Structures are given as structure tokens and as C-alpha cells.
Amino acid sequence: MARVRSAARAAARALAAAAATAALLTGCATGGGAGPDGTPSSRPAEAGGTQDRIGALFVGDVFGPRGCTASVVDSPRHNLLVTAAHCVYTATNGRLDDLVFVPGYRNGQAPYGSWTAKQTFVDPHWTASEDPEYDVAFLTVEPKGGREIEDLLGANELATDQGFGQRVSVSGYPSTSETPITCSVRTLRFSDTQERFDCYGYTDGTSGSPWLTKGGRVIGVIGGYQQGGDTDRTSYSVTFDHRVAELYRQATA
């Protein structure tokens, strides 16, 4: 099942062309267990707790096209999200300025409201050539009712230079499902600067899904090589190292 993970990119093209609704992307969410080759398969994610720091990115508003996945990360101003760069900037459409984040989204419901993206941060290497080595982005969101998003939901810590072979939980929103999926797996080395995990079910819409350690640290997001992978079995991330640390510094300066 060859595909590109960026539902946001497809939605943006549709909006730019017709200012109408985006076409639904094909995909398949699986129900847990193992795939035909013994590879783990995703299962429905439980609601509540740290899971609600993860949410869906929409174009325009919660009734608009649903694109990628994002999550709240700890920051001095308590207003920061992390996702994949290809979810917020493409060479064709430029920067997407009308994104909204819906944490804990399920079945059309927004239990914590929708949060309007204020500013996005991507590396110049990505804007220049969509270099897969820099497929990470940070977004700030506007406060709601005088409260920042981290004050409401808490946040996961961004961690760099953690090495390969980490046990992580990865939750995200396939474009054909109204609920998130999750999988607990171990990261694997793909190259010196890219890593991967193997678990079925990560289709369009799961770009930007955070890779969370047991201690609640984000050490990757679905993106990077093949914009996260061209099958639902293997997903990729840029290795979180000095490149991501520098982008985080810019986003929090």
C-alpha cells in the first residue's frame, strides 16, 4: 500500500485549487495483535492522561480537512507543539497558516477545544528542498480563556541524543479513523540520522505522531525518510539530535 503520509498536504492542495473540501485519503487502521509476518499491529488508543496531549491537526477548523498528528511538548511559555515539517510547510503550498490543533480528538468531539496555531518553526533545510533529514516542526498555539495549552494538559519533555533501541509508545490519527491508534515498540537504527519502528496501521494522518518513552519524553515524530514511510508497516523519524535541539531553541527563544 504505497502512499504519502501528509494528509495536510493533500488537503492544502484541494483548498488552494477549489477552496472546498479535501478528498479523503485511503488507509487502513488495524485492530491490534500481529500482522501476517509477526510484526506488531496497532490497537485503539485509550483516552485520558498523557494520551490527551496528542491530537489531530485540522486545516481551517475542526470541521475542515483533518491532516496530521501533533502533541504538546514542554516549553517556557507553555504553548508549544511538535509535529513533522511536511505537515506545516510544502514546496507547493508554502507555510500552512490556518492550522488548528484538537487534543484528545475522538469521534468528532473536541474535549479540550480547538487551539489555533500562531507560529510555525521549520528548519531552512526543509523550506529550501524538503530535506528529509529536517522533517520536524514546532508550532505555538494561541491561549484559550487566558490559559496556555500546557497549563491545561501538561506536556511531554523533548529529549535528544537518546540513541537507538528505545522502547516507545506511538499514538496517532489515521485519516480514515475517528479515533487514534497506538503501538508499543522498540526503535531501530535506519541510518546515523534516521530511525524506524515496525508496527502495522500507521497510514495517512499519522505523520507527526510522537515517539514517547516510558518516562514521557518525546524522542521522535513520524516523518523523515519517505515523509514517514510509504507503507503502513514501517515508520521513520529524524533522529532527535542537535538539529532538533537548535530548532527547539529557536521556537522557545
Do the Cβ atoms of 184 and 212 come closer than 8 Å?
no
Mean pLDDT of 131-142: 98
DSSP state of 251: H
Predicted TM-score of the model (pTM) = 0.87
pLDDT at 17 (0 to 100)? 29
Do the Cβ atoms of 217 and 157 come closer than 8 Å?
yes
Mean pLDDT of 111-123: 97
Do the Cβ atoms of 183 and 170 come closer than 8 Å?
yes
Q: Which of 11-15, 67-71, 236-240 has the lowest mean pLDDT?
A: 11-15
Over the stretch 154-193, which tens digit does the pLDDT of each residue have?
999 999 999 999 999 999 999 999 999 999 999 999 999 9
pLDDT at 12 (0 to 100)? 38
Over the stretch 38-78, which tens digit does the pLDDT of each residue have?
798 999 898 888 899 999 999 998 888 999 999 999 999 99
Q: What's the gap between Cα 85 and its chain centre?
A: 9
Do the Cβ atoms of 245 and 23 come closer than 8 Å?
no
Mean pLDDT of 241-248: 98
**Which CA distances in Å does 91 have to 95, 176, 207, 241?**
9, 25, 17, 25
Residue with cell 526543509: 126
181-186 and 115-122 beta bridge pairing: unpaired
Q: Domain ranges for the chain, please list them.
A: 7-252
What is the rounded average pLDDT for all residues in the chain? Answer: 88
Looking at the structure, give the CATH architecture of the domain made up of residues 7-252: Beta Barrel (2.40)
Do the Cβ atoms of 200 and 39 come closer than 8 Å?
yes
Task: Report residue 153 as a C-alpha cell.
Answer: 494538559
Over the stretch 74-113, which tens digit does the pLDDT of each residue have?
999 999 999 999 999 999 889 998 999 999 999 999 999 9
Do the Cβ atoms of 130 and 90 come closer than 8 Å?
yes
